[in-house]
Amino acid sequence: MNARKLVYLFFSTLLIGASSGAIVGVLLDLETYISGGILNFIFGVLWMFGISAAISLVAQMGYFAYLTLHRFALGLFKSVKLWNWVQIVLILFVLFDLIYLRYVAFASEEETIAGYVIMPLLLFVYCILVAFRKQQETNKEAFVPALFFMFAVTTIEWVPALTVETVNETKWLWIYLTPLITANTWQLLILHRLTGGSLRTNK
Read off the pLDDT of residues 67-83 as tens digits, 9 standing for 90 and up. 999 999 998 988 889 99
Find, among 17, 1, 120, 109, the residue nearest to 61 by Cα: 17
Compute CA 23 distance to the chain's CA centroid, rounded to the nearest angstrom: 17
Residue type, 14: L
State the average pLDDT for the chain.
Answer: 88
The tens digit of pLDDT for each residue in 1-12 reads 688 899 999 999
In the chain, where the domains are located: 3-195
| CA-to-CA separations, 74 to 56, 63, 84, 196, 200, in angstroms, rounded | 27, 17, 9, 22, 11
How would residue 30 be classed by pLDDT, with cut points 50, 70 and 90?
A: confident
Compute CA 47 distance to the chain's CA centroid, rounded to the nearest angstrom: 21
The CA dihedral of 95, 176, 12, 153, to the nearest 10 degrees, is: -20
The tens digit of pLDDT for each residue in 38-57 reads 988 899 899 999 999 999 99
Output 203 or 182, whichever has higher pLDDT. 182
How many residues are recorded in the chain? 203
